[in-house]
Structure 1
Amino acid sequence: MYVLPVLCVLYLLCSAPTSSQDWPLDCTPRKTVPYHSVDGKLFRENDVWNYTTMALREDLGLIILGTRGAIFALDINNINNKKASVKWDVTEKQQEECTYKGKDSEIDCQNYIRILHGTDDGRMYVCGTNAFHPMCDYMNYTDGQLLLQNSQEDGKGKCPFDPFQRYASAWVEKELYSATSMNFLGSEPVVLRSSEDQIRTDFKSSWLNEPNFIYMDHIPEGENSPDGDDDKVYLFFSETAVEYDFYHKLAVSRVARVCKGDMGGQRTLQRKWTSFVKARLECPVLESQLPYLVQDVFRVCPAGLTTCVFYAVFTPQMDSSDYSAVCAYSMRDIQHVFTEGKFKTPVTVETSFVKWVMFSGDLPTPRPGACIDNAAREQGITSSLELPDKTLQFIRDRPLMDQEIGPINNRPLLVKKGAAFTRIVVASVVALDRATYHVMFIGTETGSVLKAVNYAEDNTGETFIIEELQLFQSSEAIKILRLSNSKGHLFAGSEVGVVQMPLSSCGRYKSCGDCVLARDPYCAWDLTAAQCATIPSPAPADSKLIQNLQNGDTSGCPPPETAKLVNRTFVPGNNVKLECEPISNLARQEWFVGEAALVLSDKHHFHNDSLMILNASAADAAVYSCWSVERSHGRKYRRQKAKYQLALRTNGDGRWVLPTSPQARSSHQRLVGLQILVVLLSVTLALLVGWNFYKGHLTLPCKLGRGQTHTDGSPGEAPGAQQPLQHTEEKTSAPAGNSNNNHANQENAIPMDGHAPEEESVI
């Protein structure tokens, strides 16, 4: 009973890589562009939320934006220019009914626009959650106005009931293909084609088991097919795996497909897909013990359908890791698994336990899950309605392929630690070397977009993150990304608004070395204009542009300018900070004193953007230079970013200024305070002494000089004559309570000639 879970765990562990040298682990963006420095435009309306549904109508020059309760038509060149809008709110009755079913009236019971597709006749097909009662309608843009036709139809199976449930849809030749839930509780998942002959998946866990739908796309494989094959619609999703019987549910990523011409079966699988097959999608990430789950997908076809590549972002399940990944899958690999791979089949073990194993028997003819092609037509089968029951019964019970679909080169293109990836779009760019590069724009849950490129033609080697741009505040996840190659703009939506930004801002790179090291396919250094500029398409053959995407080789650049000398003075005992901004996140700083390299010590501390000299002294007066050094494919690019002449600060007379370190300033302040206190006390004492003299409470402790008279009128003696001090009782008696005791002062007084008086009696 315990063997299968153990084997599954071992399988997952063995499928993970064991060497970190082969993995592009935790790439660092070369540049980080903060929120207020992004060259973008923000659109939002008061009291409008959830800007998460978007359709490009380049034929109309518009961005059609679906939000909660409203649809906007914005100028594709400047989203701040609102062309038109139309409201689509729920009625009070619908809101009350939604509330009665236990949903929040202000959040859940609103109309969230979820489906927006341009139709073949120029109209738009729109669906909304409509307070957990989804409805759909057609919409026109006429005479500068958005107009709903008010011919609403049931949106069940087309649009999700729950506004926060993932879904997928595609408009294919007048028909809507959708992947969502059929009921209020979200417990009946369905892949549906809405047409007169509606076709859907069967309600079986072997078909869809608690799925989370991600992405749907139409691939016209039938065009010019030598086998007479049919077009396909591909669906990417994650679900609880039926093939792994763990004690806890294990989710895996899947890719499924159906044939556009599928009409269902005649007796078996009536009005059900006869071509629904699915396979596991694997994106192996280092040290991952649980499969990563797909979050978004974008298709690029460089040179026809056979070269199509699906780029997908993956995140860990159950918060088992803080890494996110990008994997790329070739159309050929997916086709090979579906057309030639083996199937899984359920086998009952111990009467109740079901185990999924590879089916090793003979397959019925035509092949289960295949579209009607020339081989089927040769057997007289021109429609799925004519398929034999053996073929239909097989695919009804065994829609799962045994072989998994791995990424190109069996490795991720990019693995990064930090904020989880949420969305991805990929632009194709023709660079100066005439090669086409795929530039990935990856949204994160913290509102930023990563711009990254893998420069190897076979998607091996280095994936380089050119920059990370903060489009929203860090608390706002990016919920949708749309790309306009023709206009050169990226559109990102979140709960609070939508941002339009250029695919590249070459003016952000201020020097030739910085421009070349950016390795941005959109940018090159113009030697004539001495600036980093966007490459014209096509680039002129005689243009004086420098670009080196593969290696970031700056040898073609003119010598960089040296930094301007800045004079700085300091006071001994202080800390000195010398600023030096690095060229990029990948650069490191080198500091020199004169011609000698400065090394880390207790006195010299290196920071990313500065040098700190602690407790500076006269010996630190010198010329300091800062060099920013960036490596690219074994080459070093060195640029002098700052140069300082550090000297002692002096007064006008040439003397050093006193130390003003924190300790010195504190001691100086205490000394000044003490001096002020002494002065105040001295003034107070002088005033008290003067007051007592004025009142007669004090007399001078010395004899009167010659020519002076006593208070009784007798002449004074010459200096040096020893005469006893005589006092009258009236003049020596102090007032009661006065602390100035004159008797005591007179008895202890010493004459100014320095001789002590003889002992006398007072008469």
Structure 2
Amino acid sequence: MMLLLAVLCVLYVWSPATLIGGQGSSTNIIPRKKVPRSSNGGHLFREEGVWNYTTMLLREDLNVLILGARETIFALDLDDITVRKAMVNWPVTEQKQKECSIKGKDATNDCKNYVRILHKRDDDRMYVCGTNAFSPTCVYMSYVSGELKLDNKQEDGKGKCPFDPFQRYASEMVDGALYSATSLNFLGSDPVMMRSTDEIVRTDFTRTWLNEPNFVHMAHIPEGDSSPEGDDDKIYLFFSETAVEYDSFSKVDVSRIARVCKGDMGGLRTLQKKWTSFLKARLDCPFLKINLPLLVQDVFQLCQDDWTTCIFYAVFTLQLDSSEYSAVCAYKIEDIKMVFSKSKFKTPVTVETSFVKWVMYSGEVPDPRPGACIDNHAREKSINKSLDLPDKTLQFIRDKPLMDQAVKAIGQRPLLVKTGIAFTRIVVATATALNGSSHQVMFIGTKNGSVLKAVNYEGEMVIMEEIQLFEPSQPIKILRLSNTKQKLYVGSEVGVVQLSISECGRYHTCLDCVLARDPYCGWDLKEGQCSTINSIHRTRISTVIQSLSDGDTSRCPPIGGSKPVNIWFIHGNSVKLWCQPYSNLAQVHWKVNGKLIRPSDTFQILSDSLMILNASAEASGYYTCSSVERKYEAQHVAYDLQMWSGSGTAASIHDVKEKENTLVAMVVILSLILATLVIWNLYKGYLPLPCCHSRVKDMANRNVDESFSASQAQQHKVASPTVNLNSNNNYANNQRYSISRETDRLSTTVGSSGQISVRYRDDESEI
């Protein structure tokens, strides 16, 4: 019975009905523009022989981007990353590489030093860790006088940096202490969340705490600042793991958020040097009404003012490898805090002696509350540090770190759902519009090497651009945002790209600029261009057009009609008229002589052109192509299409047939003349037939002198016809050559397929 239910569950998950229609979010949001790599306006940095550009530290105080790669660390100019200011190599030793290879790892790829940890310390030095051929090592690094220098003293990196260069991890530097989430052994089987200080504190080695986790992100939230409860700062960890609470024959992964208190020192007897505040909860992102939970891939923390305004933006994908469904969900810090401080706990219950089922715990909860930080309530009980916590509280949290309630997304629905593409990373910037309103702009990295630029307008998600960064495509491995530079830094295996977050110059007309609904951009009527909104524009709102809510272009200057292009075609051929819409969201409308064209046997409307099949004289006319987006129409191009005649003017079918008949008659007459000349020459014997050759020879032998005289006379007689014959042949050849040239000229116009295909782009008509 259980097996049958499992099969039905899988069928339900895979059924088309479960993959159609999100909970209030469209899965078919099309990027308004697709920007190819050749015109993305970015800067690309890559070094020959160097790979895996996946660790970054923005040092805006030094105006450099510290970039960690395989066995190399770079310092790049923040304004232009193609300018390399410094570089330092950090290779593995031959001995380390040999030891790694002996243990069964690939010497070429695995047994290298991949830089994984880059953090700034308060003393201006940087803390750097690398995998070092499956022997993690950390070192201090400085950037002085334009040079990167690694200290000679190295530290053991176990628990700080992953052994495996391709295993996910997370880390954060808080008040000089490194918080990390990675594996503690060579095999990657001992996951740990750890604080590296003189007194190391870490998670317990139990499946109840961490069960085959995939670490994603770590964040410090200063909840102790101005806290009326006297609370402590928190370190939040986002990850996915194999769920212990689900009844299933196969493993089911879930997304989690966990937290610990910054001041946690572990317990006195129970949980010695272990977290006494480790709690975790399921991270919920409802999507497509499917049973299998989504898995978190990346998280970005955005705080507008103080910590109470912090929002976590997270990207999710399905845990089915064959499907590319992705979502973005957002979470308020207040909702997260409420789950950990108010929600009930889950507890394991043994069923039928061997099976463990997790259910909501309804018994008495010890005081102080398990997992809580030391606050005013605890201090009233003379508990001033975690070492003072009673064993009853510690034993409870050791066995029951999982909360019963899940952390719900804002609005209990995704901000964005996308099909056909897998999200990998996310950062979020705040843009101030012309009217002073703030909008959160999401930059989402994808598996196919592009970045989506998207914004949510009161529940309506708009993807303004899909920017392609790498060719051939490479998954986006890291995104970093500089608010001071208004730049985005994107890393992959093969290189790093720097982008401006506001490329308003890509919008060439007022209509295109306003319909983009980009909060960074507005059409400056005074300058006649799409400009990045700044404080100057806000002082003269009347001369700048921006409409984010509905893309209202009514204030845009009128656009004149396009200059028509003259196109000729031959009767019976097919004609292709080009028209590229300026937006993926625009609908193309074709008209002929002012009448809307509908698809038919004659007309085929393609995404970028109009095909006229078996064109006749009725196809002649004035054609226009317009784009219609959000009810606003703009003409792109116009064609004056006429059927070809010999004189290069428009011709009717009758005229064409008449000229064809005349040409045939001329050919027939020339052929008859040629045949008459040949017959006449044969008759006179000027062109002897093979059968008569022997008789002519005998006559010559009888009378040589007479034959010689006759020969002289014949040459004199034949001279005139021969000239005439050549003259006639030249005339015929000239006629044929003239016709051939005309035919070649038409073939050049029509093309090798006999089809006129004119591609036209007029700057005056582009939008």
User: Does the 8 Å contact 2:23/2:286 carry over to 1?
Assistant: no
- Separation of aligned partners in 1, 2:127 and 2:491: 20
Contact kept, 8 Å, 2:23 with 2:413, in 1: the verdict is no
Q: Distance in 2 between matches of 1:614 and 1:45?
A: 52
Deviations 1:566-609 (A, max 9, x none): 11111111111111111200001111111211111011000111
CA contact (8 A) 1:24 1:413 kept: no
| Counterpart check, 1:651 vs 2:646 | yes
Residue 616 of structure 1 corresponds to: 615
Structure 2 counterpart of 1:741: none
Instruction: Please name the residue that 1:196 is paired with.
Output: 198
Q: Match for 1:341: what amino acid?
A: S
| Corresponding residue number in structure 1 for 2:261 | 259
Distance 1:380 1:532 in 2: 64
Q: Counterpart of 1:534?
A: 532
TM-score, normalised relative to structure 1? 0.85
Aligned to 2:494: 496
2:166 is the alignment partner of 1:164: yes
C-alpha deviation, 1:37, in angstroms: 1.2
Q: Which amino acid aligns with 1:230?
A: D
Which secondary structure state, in structure 1, belongs to the residue aligned with residue 58 of structure 2?
strand
Contact 1:129–1:135 (CA under 8 A) maintained in structure 2:
yes
- Measured at CA, do residues 611 and 654 of structure 1 come closer, stay the same or move farther in structure 2, by a change above 3 Å? closer
Structure 1 residues 692 and 530: CA distance shift in structure 2, 3 A:
same
In 1, the alpha carbon distance for the partners of 2:601 and 2:316 equals: 45
Q: What residue number does 2:765 align with?
A: none
Matching residue of 2:48:
46
Paired amino acid for 1:270 = Q
Q: Secondary structure at the match of 1:492?
A: strand
Summarize deviations over 1:712-758 as a string: whole Å, max 9, x none.
Answer: 999xxxxxxxxxxxxxxxxxxxxxxxxxxxxxxxxxxxxxxxxxxxx
Within 5 Å, which residues of 2 pair with 1:462-473? 462-473=460-471
1 CA distance for matches of 2:649 and 2:34?
Answer: 46
- CA deviation profile, 1:462-503 (whole Å, cap 9, x unmatched): 110000000112531110000011101100000000000110
The answer to whether the 8 A contact 2:416-2:461 is kept is: yes
Give 1:717-732 correspondences, 5 Å limit: none
Query: Any conservation in 2 of the 1:651–1:657 contact (CA below 8 Å)?
Result: no
Contact conserved, 2:295 with 2:318, CA < 8 A, in 1?
Answer: yes
5+ residue gaps in structure 1? 705-709, 715-763
The 1:713–1:493 alpha-carbon spacing in structure 2 relative to 1, beyond 3 Å, is closer
1:413-434 deviations in Å (ceiling 9; x for gaps): 1011112100000001111110
Distance 1:711 1:37 in 2: 92
How far 1:8 moved relative to its partner?
Answer: 12
2:649, 2:218 → 1: CA distance? 79
Contact (CA 8 Å) 1:24, 1:462: kept in 2 or not?
A: no
Residue 602 of structure 2 corresponds to 603
Does residue 697 (structure 1) correspond to residue 694 (structure 2)? The answer is: yes
Q: Where does residue 98 of structure 2 map in the other structure?
A: 96
Structure 2 gap ranges (5+): 707-767
Contact 2:587 2:629 survives alignment (8 Å): yes
Q: 1:645 to 1:110 in 2, by over 3 A?
A: same
Q: Deviations over 1:144-191 (max 9, x none)?
A: 000001210000000000000000000000000000000000000000
Cα distance in 1 for partners of 2:566, 2:263 equals 78
Query: Which has more helix, going by share of residues?
Result: 2
- 2:746 matched to which residue of 1? none
Indicate the larger mover: 407-416 or 686-695: 686-695
Structure 1 residue 289: Cα displacement: 2.9
Contact residue 32 and residue 584 of structure 2 kept, 8 A: yes
Tell me if structure 2 keeps the 8 A contact 1:31–1:466.
Answer: yes
Q: Partner amino acid for 2:160? A: K
2:415 counterpart residue number:
413
CA contact (8 A) 1:5 1:245 kept: no
* Aligned residue runs from structure 1 range 138-153, under 5 A: 138-153=140-155
CA deviation digits over 1:487-538, x for unaligned, max 9? 0110000000000011021111111111011011110000001110111146
From 516, 533, 536, give the equivalent of 1:518: 516
Instruction: Report SS of the residue matched to 1:274.
Output: coil
CA distance in 2, matches of 1:328, 1:655: 64
Summarize the Cα distance change of 1:653–1:212 in structure 2 as closer, same or farther, 3 Å threshold: closer
| Secondary structure of the corresponding residue to residue 622 of structure 2 | strand
2:95 is paired with a residue whose SS is helix
The 1:281–1:8 alpha-carbon spacing in structure 2 relative to 1, beyond 3 Å, is: farther
What is the RMSD computed on CA atoms of the aligned residues?
A: 3.2
TM-score by length of 2: 0.85
Q: Secondary structure at the match of 1:332?
A: helix
**Counterpart Cα distance in 2 of 1:595 and 1:231:** 69
Q: Paired residue for 1:176?
A: 178
Counterpart AA for 1:622 = G
Q: Distance in 2 between matches of 1:66 and 1:229?
A: 36
Which amino acid counterpart does residue 233 of structure 1 have in structure 2? I
Determine if contact 2:257/2:281 at 8 Å carries over to the other structure: yes
Is 1:335 the equivalent of 2:337?
A: yes
In structure 1, the residue corresponding to 2:82 is in which secondary structure?
A: strand
Amino acid at match of 1:556: R
The answer to which of 570-579 and 84-93 deviates more is: 570-579
Paired residue for 1:627?
626
Q: Is the CA contact 2:617–2:652 (under 8 Å) kept in the aligned structure 1?
A: no
Give the Cα separation in 1 of the matches to 2:464 and 2:705: 108
Residue matched to 1:565: 564
Distance 1:712 1:210, change over 3 A: closer
Determine if contact 1:116/1:126 at 8 Å carries over to the other structure.
Answer: yes
- Structure 1 counterpart of 2:248: 246
